[in-house]
Structure 1
């Protein structure tokens, strides 16, 4: 019986706010760009594959819980899986890479790892307007002898720290790992690892922490409680933030029956908010594809918005992704047939679990600090003619995109802002 490699895809992802970019468009066209910097080509291929993986995973999670909130970081999950693939061989490797939406005949394995290496470095560049940190770690049983090549590549390509861990004492190991994650996410992601199997010999971890402020914050005095419609018959009262008389990138997609706006944050990122028409959520979700996102971003046009209403909310998730990833084609790694011989040199390891925990907190300032709910009384607008009013008062989608790397860092669905 192989030992257990508990792949703690500590997709310990915290997003107390959302990302922002200056309103550019995604451009994943990498053909006929011989004059491009090779690193740029790596980045574009990676961004496209990561988007494909993000939407595939989203659709799988949404199909299992169609009326529930969803929040996860596809970037963190894909990075952890790519990190794992360093030690995978044969069918196990092919399944992981294919599950990540790469084709080894088009993109060699070395190029995939190089792409993630460049991505991690790009995300780690100092930005005084945006707090974004990501990293990897290995928690290893002392008796487990890792191949020197694996350790060196883990450090070079994924900047992975290695920590000796006493898995024979599960409570101590859990405390050690969870303390590391809590510290790296500034106290927001806690208890990522639970009920640890004492047979575990290694856990791979990836974390992401993001914090930013809205470029133009909402005024707390303009937040008031109003209805958020869960469906045609049910609604809940939620704190609704409001902004009036603003110019925003906007697009109404007649083909997919949805409306979207891009909200900017200080720093190098933006939030794309997608509001399906009533009864059209499933149809929009079914068409979540990299090509759809490219079309949306390319169609955004800055226009005058008379009023924008957005719920103030904090949602979190904790997923065991084993079954979901298996349905996406990553199966052998979870079986006794797993070939992770690149880690130790022997086929003695298998993946026992892939866990992911994420938190998304959106408030007036864009930080996790909660502001008191107020009631706003304002005069009736004296403007003549039709007004453009966008109310996110029913289930909507959110995608958080890092501009420089064109990477979807977080994606989610707000089905009920009251449910954490």
Structure 2
């Protein structure tokens, strides 16, 4: 008999080979058993998500090998912390709130009148992000409980209310391999089979609880690249002097482009159909300028020049690439001050269950991104977002033939969906 029935989502059929850019994220936490400014709007959660993403990016960059690519989803990691925060109490909860505030005063995220404002903000934000648009963006959550482990009804109700999270039973103690298989089946279902598994070994019998969040994004370029224009170009891995061959996409069109003196970088905005989500590429002027760009980079430093720019003719050169990254974020989160929740002595998750003490054991994050030419000629659906008016301008060249930063964001809420760097192809 199966340990549990894995969740199967109702969804529209996705045509995978028509994706110009697709981002897939799964974040997973498992918990191990052990012997005042009031801001509650989705905007505050979006800001917190972005700040957390930037800090995590820098932590990952510090520990990753030199020359490695990075790709992660701030909104997915923030969702996991938000789900755990619902059941955290005392100092454990305060540390999570502080991390979600980017290390700042967590009081700005929490109302003195209702300590669940943060979760409510997540709920409103995710409902907005999951709404039907001209592209597919889905955030899904799930909690898997060890058979026989009771969960407080309020925690279950709040998970369902704010994170649309299903709660399922799993036989971790007697069949860790089968439980892992079923969890991976949920991951495959939520990511359209693009991420086949996140758990590569049997789950430990002592793990009473798994917390998962999956983000699936499929977007079609508003201005697609033509496959016949793709040529064999060059990409200078790690900004070195030797180039490697790479399929280089090319098109000339009207795009929002800016040159930032403060970042010493070219910035290009590539919108997806629906006019709601953009890919922003930040390309250092110098081939070996990525490290300096990372030191200076902030979201505002990239957004401000774009906000002041008008569309102009741009000759775009962009490599086709695929990223698949996997991380343990436990160390990064601990360095942000999220310590008690990982401690068998100090963790306070008494809002989840009274059965036995719980502590976080691990935070795993897996991400995949595809960027290619495919797109659609369909006119973008209006979403009420004010865009720049067209204006004449001289043609500029944007040639991404060396390492760059990029991020994918929801324009209306300014939520950072994905963030990364391409150092080598």
TM over 0.5, yes or no?
A: yes
Residue 233 (structure 1) shift: 2.3
TM-score w.r.t. the length of structure 1 is 0.82
Structure 2 gaps of 5+ residues are 1-15, 24-36, 377-392
Partner of 1:179: 185
Q: How does 1:206-285 map to 2 (within 5 A)?
A: 206-230=213-237, 231-244=239-252, 246-267=253-274, 268-278=276-286, 279-285=288-294
Which of the numbers 192, 198, 207 marks the counterpart of 2:198? 192
Between the aligned partners of 2:349 and 2:194, the Cα distance in structure 1 is 32
Partner of 2:372: 363
Give yes or no for the alignment of 1:350 onto 2:351.
no
Q: How does 1:152-163 map to 2 (within 5 A)?
A: 152-163=157-168
Partner of 1:58: 57
Secondary structure of residue in 1 paired with 2:412: coil
Between the aligned partners of 2:272 and 2:122, the Cα distance in structure 1 is 25
Residue 16 (structure 1) shift: 6.6
Residue 298 (structure 1) shift: 2.1
TM-score w.r.t. the length of structure 2 is 0.82
Tell me the matched-pair count: 366
Between the aligned partners of 1:408 and 1:192, the Cα distance in structure 2 is 22
Structure 1 gaps of 5+ residues are 1-13, 20-30, 32-37, 368-384
Q: Deviations over 1:21-66 (max 9, x none)?
A: xxxxxxxxxx9xxxxxx99x71222222211111111111112224
Secondary structure of residue in 2 paired with 1:205: strand
Residue 331 (structure 1) shift: 1.3
Q: Deviations over 1:85-109 (max 9, x none)?
A: 1111111111111111163322214
Partner of 2:33: none
Which of the numbers 319, 329, 332 marks the counterpart of 1:324? 332
Secondary structure of residue in 2 paired with 1:126: coil
Give yes or no for the alignment of 1:17 onto 2:24.
no
Give yes or no for the alignment of 1:117 onto 2:123.
yes
Change beyond 3 A, Cα 1:93–1:143: same
Task: Give the RMSD, CA atoms, in angstroms.
Answer: 2.2
- The answer to whether the 8 Å contact 1:18/1:265 transfers is no
Between the aligned partners of 1:274 and 1:413, the Cα distance in structure 2 is 9
- The answer to whether the 8 Å contact 2:322/2:368 transfers is yes
Give yes or no for the alignment of 1:104 onto 2:106.
yes
RCO higher in structure (CA 8 A, sep ≥6): 1
Secondary structure of residue in 1 paired with 2:228: helix
Which segment is superposed worse, 235-244 or 104-113? 104-113
Change beyond 3 A, Cα 1:327–1:16: farther
Partner of 1:340: 349
Give yes or no for the alignment of 1:146 onto 2:145.
no
Residue 143 (structure 1) shift: 1.2
- The answer to whether the 8 Å contact 2:97/2:109 transfers is no
Residue 285 (structure 1) shift: 1.4
Partner of 1:34: none
Change beyond 3 A, Cα 1:52–1:362: same
Structure 1 runs (4+) deviating above 4 angstroms are none
Between the aligned partners of 1:297 and 1:158, the Cα distance in structure 2 is 32
Between the aligned partners of 1:182 and 1:104, the Cα distance in structure 2 is 35
Between the aligned partners of 1:177 and 1:77, the Cα distance in structure 2 is 18
Which segment is superposed worse, 178-187 or 338-347? 338-347
Give yes or no for the alignment of 1:89 onto 2:89.
yes
Between the aligned partners of 2:223 and 2:394, the Cα distance in structure 1 is 25
Secondary structure of residue in 2 paired with 1:344: coil
Partner of 2:11: none
Residue 300 (structure 1) shift: 3.2
